[in-house]
Chains A and B, each alone.
Chain A
Amino acid sequence: MSEFFLILVSTVLVNNFVLVKFLGLCPFMGVSAKEESAFGMVLATSFVLTLSSVASYLVWRWLLLPFGLEYLRTLSFILVIAVVVQFTEMVMRKASPLLYQTLGIFLPLITTNCIVLGVALLNSQQSHGLMESALYGFGASLGFGLVLVLFAGIRARLQAADVPETFQGAPIALITAGFMALAFMGFTGLVRG
């Protein structure tokens, strides 16, 4: 049980995918301009990430490993992710149009989110089990969500701030992200192992 808790803490804080592993920077910069859209992106990503890490684990464990096709994992994981995203979009559109409207624009974007592929690859690399894979994916999305929502809040404040002309727009956002990464380095010693 404590092992699962450690995975969560590790992915959310210590080895945060955005600020420590530097994955998923495109949505981090792109969707953080408005807090509401950041929140929608987080919801969609956590849903897809958990589902796709489980699905790619199944493909890895029961298809690629038995046939000795480890070298095909990037190809097949991308296939799995694309299908999961498409399938999720269809089901959601039918089952809950309201949620689909909130997430609609962000769902197809997730296919290209490198965290999703990163989690699948890391899961197979570290030979996680089914439960571990799901938690790893879920924790990664929680960490992504935490950082994205925090960053959206900071950017809302930046808009009102008196930024020197040279730094306006993307530069100040990148500098802010750098400071956030520095702050997250403080979590490094949190888990002693």
Chain B
Amino acid sequence: MTAVVIITLLALAFGLLLAWAAGRFRVEGNPVAEKLNQLLPQTQCGQCGYPGCAPYAEALARGEAPVNLCNPGGTATMEAIADLLGVPPLEVEEEPDGPLVAVIREAECIGCTKCIQACPVDAILGSAKHMHTVIESECTGCKLCVEPCPVDCIDMVELPPTRASWIWPKPALPVEQPPEKEKRVA
């Protein structure tokens, strides 16, 4: 009888403590999702399958999304996310030649402003019936501007590697075949 009473009282006391703590130490929002959102490139391009960077960050924080979905962010962003969440990094399906940037062939641009409206990060400068150009440092290489251009004057070109994106090249060694064993002659 004492045992039942003691354990019940103990559990009740602990339950009350936790209930009090839950109210006392309540945290608004999800700090992890916010941190993740800051890591993402804010292209809102939807290439990850989520409607924007913030929803993807929330899915990441809930542990529902793999870390390698952000294509514009590339390997650097994926590694930062994996590091923050403490999960092993995954391969990003990146462009084979590394990060890209959009370049407008300015002589062919007719100034239709369609690419300006498509750009999620406002990296394209220009006004109606005037030539447009891309601010290279703002461009995230999301390719959203390529499709709307009526004269197809936007090229995606490769960026020279920076210190964050450079990867040690694989050694170009010829694969050596092991020498065939000599047959023993009795």
Find chain B residues with CB under 8 A from A34 CB: 86, 88
Which of the 9-residue segments B17-25, B100-108, B127-135, B175-183 touches chain A? B17-25
Contact flag A91-B21 (CB < 8 Å), given A67-B2, A75-B7: yes
Q: How far is the CB of A98 from chain B (nearest CB, A)?
A: 9
Q: In this assembly, does B172 line the interface, its C-beta being within 8 Å of a C-beta of chain A?
A: no
In whole angstroms, how far apart are the Cα atoms of A94 and B22 in the complex? 10
Q: How far is the CB of A189 from chain B (nearest CB, A)?
A: 39
Chain B, interface size: which category? 20 to 34
Within 8 A of A (CB), among B14-63: 14, 17-18, 21-22, 25-27, 31-32, 35
In whole angstroms, how far apart are the Cα atoms of A100 and B25 in the complex? 13
User: Would B86 and A105 count as touching, CB distance under 8 A?
Assistant: yes
Q: In this assembly, does A90 line the interface, its C-beta being within 8 Å of a C-beta of chain B?
A: yes
User: Would B32 and A90 count as touching, CB distance under 8 A?
Assistant: no
> Pick the contact of B35 from A40, A94, A95, A101 — CB < 8 Å?
A101
User: Would B32 and A101 count as touching, CB distance under 8 A?
Assistant: yes
Q: In this assembly, does B84 line the interface, its C-beta being within 8 Å of a C-beta of chain A?
A: yes
In whole angstroms, how far apart are the Cα atoms of A76 and B6 in the complex? 10
In whole angstroms, how far apart are the Cα atoms of A148 and B7 in the complex? 35
Find chain A residues with CB under 8 A from B151 CB: none
Chain A, interface size: which category? 20 to 34
Contact flag A104-B32 (CB < 8 Å), given A36-B86, A87-B21: yes
User: Would B3 and A94 count as touching, CB distance under 8 A?
Assistant: no
Q: How far is the CB of B170 from chain A (nearest CB, A)?
A: 15
Q: In this assembly, does A37 line the interface, its C-beta being within 8 Å of a C-beta of chain B?
A: yes
Chain A CB within 10 A, most for which of B2, B14, B17, B84: B14
In whole angstroms, how far apart are the Cα atoms of A63 and B11 in the complex? 13
Find chain A residues with CB under 8 A from B17 CB: 83, 87
User: Would B86 and A67 count as touching, CB distance under 8 A?
Assistant: no
User: Would A76 and B10 count as touching, CB distance under 8 A?
Assistant: yes
Q: How far is the CB of B79 from chain A (nearest CB, A)?
A: 12
Q: In this assembly, does B85 line the interface, its C-beta being within 8 Å of a C-beta of chain A?
A: yes
Q: In this assembly, does A185 line the interface, its C-beta being within 8 Å of a C-beta of chain B?
A: no
In whole angstroms, how far apart are the Cα atoms of A182 and B84 in the complex? 35
User: Would B18 and A79 count as touching, CB distance under 8 A?
Assistant: no
> Pick the contact of A72 from B7, B84, B86 — CB < 8 Å?
B7
1/0 per position for A173-191, CB-CB distance to B under 8 A?
0000000000000000000
Within 8 A of B (CB), among A88-113: 90-91, 93-95, 97, 100-102, 104-106
Q: In this assembly, does A124 line the interface, its C-beta being within 8 Å of a C-beta of chain B?
A: no
User: In this complex, what residue of A is CB-closest to B63?
Assistant: A105
Q: In this assembly, does A59 line the interface, its C-beta being within 8 Å of a C-beta of chain B?
A: yes
Find chain B residues with CB under 8 A from A93 CB: 25, 27
Task: Identify the 5 closest CB pairs spanning chains A and B, nearest first.
Answer: A94-B25, A83-B14, A97-B31, A90-B25, A37-B86
* Further contacts, 20 of them, CB under 8 A, given A63-B6, A91-B25: A34-B86, A34-B88, A37-B86, A67-B3, A68-B2, A69-B3, A76-B7, A79-B11, A80-B14, A83-B14, A83-B17, A86-B21, A87-B17, A87-B21, A90-B18, A90-B22, A94-B26, A101-B31, A104-B32, A105-B85
Q: Please, could you name 29 A-B residue pairs with CB atoms under 8 Å apart, sorted by A?
A: A33-B88, A34-B86, A37-B86, A59-B10, A63-B6, A64-B6, A67-B2, A67-B6, A69-B2, A69-B6, A72-B6, A76-B10, A79-B11, A79-B14, A80-B14, A83-B14, A86-B18, A86-B21, A87-B18, A90-B22, A90-B25, A91-B21, A91-B25, A93-B27, A95-B25, A100-B31, A101-B32, A101-B35, A104-B32
